[in-house]
Amino acid sequence: MNVTAFHDVVLVGGGGAGLRAAIAIAETNPRLSIAVVSKVYPMRSHTVSAEGGSAGVVRPDDSLDEHAYDTISGGDWLCDQDAVEAFVKEAPEELLRLEHWGCPWSREPDGRIAVRAFGGMRKMRTWFAADKTGFHMLHTLFQTSLKYTRVVRYDEWFAASLLVDDGRVQGVVALELMSGKIEAITAKAVILCTGGCGRVFPFTTNANIKNGDGMALAYRAGAPLKDMEFVQYHPTGLPFTGILITEACRSEGGYLLNKDGYRYLQDYGLGKPEAKPVLRSMELGPRDRLSQAFVKEHEKGRTIETPYGPVVHLDLRHLGEQLINTKLPFVRELCLKYQNIDPVTELIPVRPVAHYMMGGVHTDIHGATPLLGLYAAGEAACVSINGANRLGSNSLPELLVFGARAGRAAAAYASSAAEPRSAVLAQAEDERRRMQRDLLHKIDGRERLAPLRDELHQSMEQSAGIYRSGNSLAQAAVKLRELQDRFRHVALQDHSRTFNTELMAALELSFMLDVGEAIVESALRREESRGAHQRTDFPARDDQRFLAHSLVYRNADGSCRVEYRPVTITRWPPGERVYGR
């Protein structure tokens, strides 16, 4: 097999985490050659769609300890506190660095960086660039990465597997979408920055490309996935499309109303309607609690039925046209274009929607996985700073802090690691043949992709949604095993090489089946309720048994094994989560 190229470090993913890591590698050791492999052009990565903002302590009335505490209590004490301490310290430094690279943060009239309130954050510390924060951050990282000539981009290349030999990761096998060629890109280290996996659920804010690819790549190569049972539902997605209506609407003072026009969150221990300032408002409770309140409200018959499921209303009318146009212009645009309503004068229908993955590839505080030469950062990774429930606006700074950390660690490792061995080329050749035999050229399979994907979606929604039970999870576990079996009999209808999107969809579906299984198996074993994981059969948090991270490993026969490891507690012993006071 031809080797397309050898690099010192291969980054899989050109989103926020991937580009930040690329810059960190180039700055750590300018001699290293860096490949950025991305299945879409980097500026189309999901980071571009982040709206609300990026948290980092910047005001004198705030402190790193308060940001750490909000993150830890928001995560229901499942966060590793050493990681959180590093995170809150480095987040403002990273945001400032981005400013120096050209990120146009919104400002106060006196020139200071503007900050807004965000859910579960008790101080104003969320930096923003209007409501297009992710666009501006990604643009800044992209243009900065162009300065480094040692960064080589493989745009529209799809990483299909990792090359592992002699106990260390030594590159990837990747498919060039334009030509259909399948080649080895070898390296001394690989960093997975492939983002989340919202697409394992049918109703999600996540772009079509978020299929958990990197999680499955690591899992198949022998690295464990951590805390996969924790899936975040965002309380305000547009019905039907799942398009996100940012939390910034509520931090600017928006209300959530049930079918009677009542601010129902006051019934769920999240505060009182008259609470001031907006930081204390019940609408700015954490996402897990708000999504759970929606389900309860629905059970009481107080939501509004629509052809696309039950909804409540987000009310921005009292904010006025001027504020909406300056602080939330994208929200107005989305509502007009996709829902045909104007939030200046009309209520926005919203419902909870699968949004973010707290779990991911298990890494240490430097982004290293237990597999030598393999690193991960961003939403694909689990460090973990998010615990059982991420606070809104902590993900964007996480990409920067841990993207940079993973980049530096991989650069240090690659600076002295051995060259890839020739054995990996034979492995890559096997993988190429397997992809051609089992997928591209197979004509006699009886299964099609779409029904398998629909059944996966149905199973995940019914078992691993906002509320879960042992029975539904056990049924889903059996169903997912069946889908894994049936996937072996898939036949594609498109056998061409150029931009074969069906082949890509097949690879993505096989990744999603692995990720779906990891979610269901770890949710089944966690017999407690914590953060975003709510078991109707075990409604209480159980620190005795489950103040621990789950680690899912893949067995040789393809089934899962779940183990646990302790949570790192430094200064904040487990306590009660209190909001609205």
Ligand X SMILES: Cc1cc2nc3c(=O)[nH]c(=O)nc-3n(C[C@H](O)[C@H](O)[C@H](O)COP(=O)(O)OP(=O)(O)OC[C@H]3O[C@@H](n4cnc5c(N)ncnc54)[C@H](O)[C@@H]3O)c2cc1C
- Of the pair 48, 293, the CB lying nearest ligand X is at 48
Phi, psi of 128 (to 5 degrees): -155, 160
- Residue 455: count other Cβ atoms within 10 Å of its Cβ: 15
Q: Which stretch binds ligand X (CB under 6 A): 82-90, 188-196, 441-449, 564-572?
A: 188-196
Residue 135 in the binding site for ligand X (CB under 6 A): no
Helix (H, G, I), strand (E, B) or coil at 297: helix
Residue 374 in the binding site for ligand X (CB under 6 A): no
- Of the pair 203, 538, the CB lying nearest ligand X is at 203
Q: Which stretch binds ligand X (CB under 6 A): 203-211, 363-371, 484-492, 567-575?
A: 203-211
- Residue 523: count other Cβ atoms within 10 Å of its Cβ: 25
321-360 residues in contact with ligand X (CB under 6 A) are 356
Residue 39 in the binding site for ligand X (CB under 6 A): yes
**Residue 46 bears catalytic tag:** no
Residue 206 in the binding site for ligand X (CB under 6 A): yes
Phi, psi of 576 (to 5 degrees): -90, 145
Q: Which stretch binds ligand X (CB under 6 A): 52-60, 274-282, 329-337, 439-447?
A: 52-60
CB 53, min distance to ligand X, A? 5
Strands 467-468, 534-535: pairing is parallel
Query: Which of 173, 209, 347, 509 touches ligand X by CB under 6 A?
Result: 209
- Given the residues 250, 313, 366, 526, the one annotated as active site: 250
Size of the site for ligand X (CB under 6 A): 44
Query: Which of 17, 103, 177, 424 touches ligand X by CB under 6 A?
Result: 17
Distances (CA, A) of 548 to 134, 226, 520, 522, 564: 32, 10, 17, 12, 6
CB of 173 within 8 A of CB of 184? yes
Residue 45 in the binding site for ligand X (CB under 6 A): yes
CB 404, min distance to ligand X, A? 12
* CA–CA dist 2, 114 (Å, integer): 52
- Of the pair 213, 431, the CB lying nearest ligand X is at 213
3-state secondary structure 395-437: HHHHHHHHHHHHHHHHHHHHHHCCCCCCHHHHHHHHHHHHHHH
- Of the pair 244, 551, the CB lying nearest ligand X is at 244
Any idea of the CA torsion for 430, 433, 435, 436, to the nearest 10 degrees? 180
Query: Which of 8, 70, 85, 213 touches ligand X by CB under 6 A?
Result: 213
Query: Which of 399, 449, 460, 523 touches ligand X by CB under 6 A?
Result: 399
Residue 53 in the binding site for ligand X (CB under 6 A): yes
Residue 407 in the binding site for ligand X (CB under 6 A): no
Residue 42 in the binding site for ligand X (CB under 6 A): yes
Residue 18 in the binding site for ligand X (CB under 6 A): yes
Phi and psi based region of residue 509 (left: phi greater than 0; alpha: psi -120 to 50; beta: remaining): alpha
Helix (H) and strand (E) counts in the chain? 15, 21
* CA–CA dist 171, 169 (Å, integer): 6
Q: Which stretch binds ligand X (CB under 6 A): 8-16, 69-77, 162-170, 343-351?
A: 8-16
Closest CA to 489 of 434, 450, 441, 438: 438
Residue 47 in the binding site for ligand X (CB under 6 A): yes
- Of the pair 460, 512, the CB lying nearest ligand X is at 512
Residue 427 in the binding site for ligand X (CB under 6 A): no
Q: Which stretch binds ligand X (CB under 6 A): 183-191, 208-216, 263-271, 522-530?
A: 208-216
3-state secondary structure 85-131: HHHHHHHHHHHHHHHHCCCCCCECCCCCECEECCCCCCCCCEECCCC
Residue 117 in the binding site for ligand X (CB under 6 A): no
CB of 528 within 8 A of CB of 200? no
Residue 158 in the binding site for ligand X (CB under 6 A): yes
Residue 38 in the binding site for ligand X (CB under 6 A): yes
Query: Which of 24, 25, 26, 46 touches ligand X by CB under 6 A?
Result: 46
CB of 34 within 8 A of CB of 146? no
Q: Show the CA angle centred on residue 57, arms to residues 114 and 248, nearest 5°.
A: 50
β-partners of residue 372 are: 168
**Residue 250 bears catalytic tag:** yes
221-280 residues in contact with ligand X (CB under 6 A) are 244
* CA–CA dist 132, 213 (Å, integer): 26
Closest CA to 246 of 107, 135, 139: 135
- Given the residues 168, 234, 453, 549, the one annotated as active site: 234
CB 134, min distance to ligand X, A? 5
Residue 285 in the binding site for ligand X (CB under 6 A): no
CB 241, min distance to ligand X, A? 11
Interacting residue ranges for ligand X, rule: CB under 6 A: 12-18, 37-40, 42, 45-47, 49-54, 133-134, 158-159, 193-196, 205-206, 209-210, 213, 244, 356, 378-380, 393-396, 399
Catalytic positions, please? 234, 250
